[in-house]
Amino acid sequence: ESTINIAGYFGQVEADLWEQLFVSVGLRADQSSALSRENRTAFFPKGSVAWNAARVLGIENEKGILSYLKLRAAYGEVGRQPL
């Protein structure tokens, strides 16, 4: 029986621009000895952008039903090792 080695690395950077726009980007790298040398490492990027609409619309810190509104869009890739 052979041993399978798996390693994963992750990095992420976030920025807050003017307390209105939030940007996040990241990258995950996975390695597995169970895969061929050509396919041993895989990269999975991700990113998101969010907008603090409450600040722009002037409803931030208001009393009532809606006191905070953030719109967010995100993208990410996922993967798995074959069994």
Q: pLDDT for 25-40, tens place per residue? A: 999 998 888 888 888 8
With tokens 């390693």, the residue in question is 7
State the DSSP code for 45. E
Find the distance separating the first CA and the last CA of the chain, reported in whole Å. Answer: 15
Quote the radius of gyration of the chain (alpha carbons, Å).
20
In this prediction, residue 61 has a pLDDT band, given cuts at 50, 70 and 90, of low
Average pLDDT over residues 64-69: 71
Q: Under a CB-based contact definition with an 8 Å cutoff, are residues 12 and 25 in contact?
A: yes
Average pLDDT over residues 6-17: 94
Checking if the pLDDT of 60 tops 70, the result is no
Confidence (pTM): 0.71
